[in-house]
């Protein structure tokens, strides 16, 4: 799926991950659009749940992808089933 869609210039691929250690949350999102460098965004927050951090990372990735007017499809890859349940 990644290889097929990474060649399409109208598809953005967002990979997000989040973790919490010592009440400090770290969210990382990578955005890949064909023929452009991969964008990495890292945020830190305190006293939040892992679901909130994961949703924030997804939202940041979507915002970055939407800034490109040529994007018509966004694919999000995450390992958090709790975040996906909140979205749907």
Alpha-carbon gap, residue 73 to 88, rounded angstroms: 18
Question: Are 44 and 22 spatial neighbours (Cβ–Cβ below 8 Å)?
Answer: no
pLDDT in tens, 34-71: 878 888 989 899 988 878 888 888 888 888 888 888 88
CA atoms within 13 A on the CB side of 82: 10
> What residues does each domain of the chain span?
2-87
pLDDT > 70? residue 83 = no
Sheet with 73-77, edge to edge strand ranges? 39-46, 24-33, 11-21, 73-77
Query: What's the whole-model pTM score?
Result: 0.75
Instruction: From the options 3.30.300.30, 3.30.420.10, 3.40.50.460, 3.20.20.80, give the CATH code of 2-87.
Output: 3.30.420.10
Return mean pLDDT, the chain: 82
């Amino acid at each position: 799926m990644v290889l097929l869609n990474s060649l399409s210039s109208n598809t953005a691929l967002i990979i997000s991950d989040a973790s919490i250690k010592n009440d400090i949350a770290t969210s990382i999102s990578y955005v890949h659009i064909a023929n452009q460098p991969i964008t990495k965004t890292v945020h830190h927050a305190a006293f939040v749940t892992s679901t909130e951090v994961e949703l924030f990372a997804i939202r940041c990735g979507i915002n970055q992808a939407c800034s490109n007017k040529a994007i018509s499809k966004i694919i999000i890859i995450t390992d958090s089933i709790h975040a996906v349940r909140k979205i749907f």
